[in-house]
Structure 1
Amino acid sequence: MRSRHLHRAVFVFLTLGIIFSLSAPRFSRLIESRYSSGIYYWTIRPYSLLTGIFPFSLAELIVVSLVLYFIYKAVRAVVALRTNPRDFATTVPGKGKRLVLTLAVVYLAFSFMWGFNYSRLTFAEISGLPVEPASVEELTELATHLVERANELRLQVAEDDRGVMTLNGDIREMFGRAHLGYEKAAEIYPQLGGRYGRPKGVMLSRYWSYTGIGGMYFPFTAEANVNINMPHFLIPFTTTHEMAHQRGFAREDEANYIAYLTSTLHPDVDFQYSGTLQALNYTMSALRRYDPEKWSEVRTTYGEGVWRDLEEWQRYRARYDGSVRQVSTRVNNTYLMANRQTDGVHSYGRMVDLMLAEYRTVKDSWLNEYE
């Protein structure tokens, strides 16, 4: 009897939790004030510092262990089905019920540990940036500024023997100074402040490259995980992107903008160049859709170093392209849409709206730099 009451209580709790999770987008201001800036900040931040003590990625260890476990369970199921199909069939309903319960618990844990951040106020609302439709002329001006800035920064970064940009120090050292850009940004937007666990490189990054994924925030360990097999000019931007997720900014387009902001405010030139180059890539992609002629014209102003880095990026993508990447993109697209990012993977392009909003506020000072 006691067990039955416990099961009912668990069922009611899970049901209410799922209903609350699904209705969260209607209460953005409440989520922002009570959860994102309250419960999440004061619980996940110290938790991430705790998991950050470990020099390796706990998330990677968990994921690999789960994959091995599922393979083991699948093999056992096949053996049981072949040896005694009748007994196997009788266990299916109970196992199915436990699986549904487990998935419900995981979903609720995900929501309470991070997922509610998808329903917080937008970064435009938090920052007060004037996001509005932009003309092609504004987009071209932004792209031109970013090219000039990228060319200038490219002359200051280190190169390898192939003429491709390299980090100022090794990757582990880079992770150790990644927070400096957030400290600067927090002076403008306090919501980006606070100490969190340091980002971590994934040991199986070479294999991860086949998925086309550069980084992942793992809510259950509050770790910002980064693919360290990528070309170096991609890694600082990716790192600060995952750190934005760690700070509760779940939407991909906003995490991209925050990565650009914190990279360009960083005191070190390798971060500045990485953020500027990625911002340029997103801006040029938007310009190409709306004015291919202007896009082609702006591309002619790229410096030689920038071209070498972009060519290295193409070689990297070609080396790891394949069916695994296509499946990974579909899964990522489904995940984003399930979390109400209705543009799916294309929602990354909306980063440009925030950049244009910033451009409007500092346009005069940007243009005066090159007069």
Structure 2
Amino acid sequence: MKRKFILPALLLFQWGIVSLIRFFPAWIETYYSQGLYPKIAYVLRTALGGLPFSVGDVLYTLLVLVLVHWFWKNRIGFWKHWKTHFWTVLSFLSVLYFCFHVLWGLNYYRLPLHEKWKLEKEYTYEELVQFTRQLVMQTNALQKQIQQDTTQAVRVVHSEATLFNMAPKGYAVLASKHPEFYYESASIKGSLYSLPLSYMGFGGYLNPFTNEAQVNSLKPKYTAPLTICHEMAHQTGVASESECNFMGFLAASQHPDVYFRYSAYTFALNYCLFHLEEQKAGSSQPFKKWINKGVLQNFKESKTFWQHHQTVIANFFEYFYDYFLKWNQQKEGLESYSKFIGLLINYNKHTSVFYAH
């Protein structure tokens, strides 16, 4: 076989292996997600976590520059030599596909958390109403504790760097109850591409090649602690977006810092209000009359921010990411983000998510 065909052939071979291995989640769970992956993640976070900038964002920038240079260099007679370029592109994708799955991507095929913890995902309307009522009480209490005034929106006093440094404390509490989520050697950073992320509709992301948790530094700061804990869940090997929201809530809601707890409860409450409206139009309105005005101001702040950045670009990336999630074992696509409410409600039946501080 000619050298130029080796990597493209390996791409096909890799695709076949991944297509087969997804039918053996227990094997992935044991040998990758709880075996090889934690070691890879620890090495990457230890090596890159102390650097004051996002190595992953820099690598993405260099990649774009290399691609632009390659296209420019081959612009003359590009279509004449399309076969050569085709094999070059496939070779590049083969390497990228391998690195993605080995460094993080195989976590998509591990055992779902709700199966390991024996949690139901479904809930009744009455259970949602009761859970929302509890969330309102807790959120109101936290907002008043912070501002001493129910009409004032919460303003986080910590810097972004301080939030990054504080975040692991929530996972320390979580790991005391669920050791598999033990987190060490933090690598959490503000994204160099926060503005593009805002227009793409993303609050943060995990770079699967460097294991850096990237946070959109421009979005309302009161939402940042939950976002940080969500991305940290990805770093522990959780791939499902609903499970990351679930784990992010558990970590942030148990954090010793009140701003983390407030971020967690406002996040869950907002989703519950959304689900109430989905099930019965107008059913969220009685709760909104009960919610502190300061909390509602924070909700409005977040809604305004995302509406301001809503463009056709965001629509494109929402469509792309929705398809990407469905391709990677998350059948609900973007809707999977909101599915964590079912996990919270059913988790709360056995181990209360409402903690006294």
TM-score (norm: length of structure 2): 0.92
Q: Show structure 2 runs of 5+ residues with no match.
A: none
Corresponding residue of 2:108: 118
Deviates more, 1:202-211 or 1:32-41: 202-211
Q: Secondary structure at the match of 2:218?
A: coil
Determine if contact 2:173/2:254 at 8 Å carries over to the other structure: yes
Give me the whole-angstrom Cα distance separating, in 2, the residues matched to 1:360 and 1:189: 17
Corresponding residue of 1:318: 307
Determine if contact 1:48/1:196 at 8 Å carries over to the other structure: yes
* Aligned mate of 1:193, from 182, 198, 214: 182
Q: Secondary structure at the match of 1:234?
A: helix
Which one has a larger percent helix, Structure 1 or Structure 2? Answer: 1
* Aligned mate of 1:64, from 61, 64, 67: 61
Give me the whole-angstrom Cα distance separating, in 1, the residues matched to 2:152 and 2:84: 60
Instruction: Look at both structures and tell me which one has the larger radius of gyration over its CA atoms.
Output: 1
Give me the whole-angstrom Cα distance separating, in 2, the residues matched to 1:99 and 1:26: 29
Cα drift, residue 164 of structure 1: 3.4
Determine if contact 1:158/1:168 at 8 Å carries over to the other structure: no
Corresponding residue of 1:241: 230
Paired AA for residue 99 in structure 1:
V
Report the CA distance shift for 1:89/1:329 in structure 2 as closer, same or farther (over 3 A).
closer
Give me the whole-angstrom Cα distance separating, in 1, the residues matched to 2:199 and 2:68: 20
Q: How does 1:194-213 map to 2 (within 5 A)?
A: 194-213=183-202
Determine if contact 2:11/2:97 at 8 Å carries over to the other structure: no
Give me the whole-angstrom Cα distance separating, in 2, the residues matched to 1:146 and 1:69: 49
Cα drift, residue 12 of structure 1: 5.7
Determine if contact 1:157/1:168 at 8 Å carries over to the other structure: no
Give me the whole-angstrom Cα distance separating, in 2, the residues matched to 1:158 and 1:221: 38
Paired AA for residue 18 in structure 1:
W
Corresponding residue of 1:48: 45
Share of identical aligned residues, percent? 26
Kindly report the root-mean-square deviation, in angstroms, between the aligned alpha carbons of the 2 structures.
2.2
Determine if contact 1:18/1:108 at 8 Å carries over to the other structure: no
Corresponding residue of 1:356: 345
Deviates more, 1:225-234 or 1:328-337: 328-337
Are residues 1:257 and 2:246 paired? yes
Corresponding residue of 1:342: 331
Report the CA distance shift for 1:7/1:91 in structure 2 as closer, same or farther (over 3 A).
closer
Cα drift, residue 298 of structure 1: 1.7
Determine if contact 1:165/1:232 at 8 Å carries over to the other structure: no
Paired AA for residue 195 in structure 1:
E
How many residue pairs get aligned? The number is 354
Are residues 1:225 and 2:214 paired? yes
Cα drift, residue 5 of structure 1: 7.0
Deviations 1:28-69 (CA, angstroms, capped at 9, x unpaired): 111111100000012222222111121100111112222233
Determine if contact 2:11/2:93 at 8 Å carries over to the other structure: no
Corresponding residue of 1:305: 294
Give me the whole-angstrom Cα distance separating, in 1, the residues matched to 2:122 and 2:311: 37
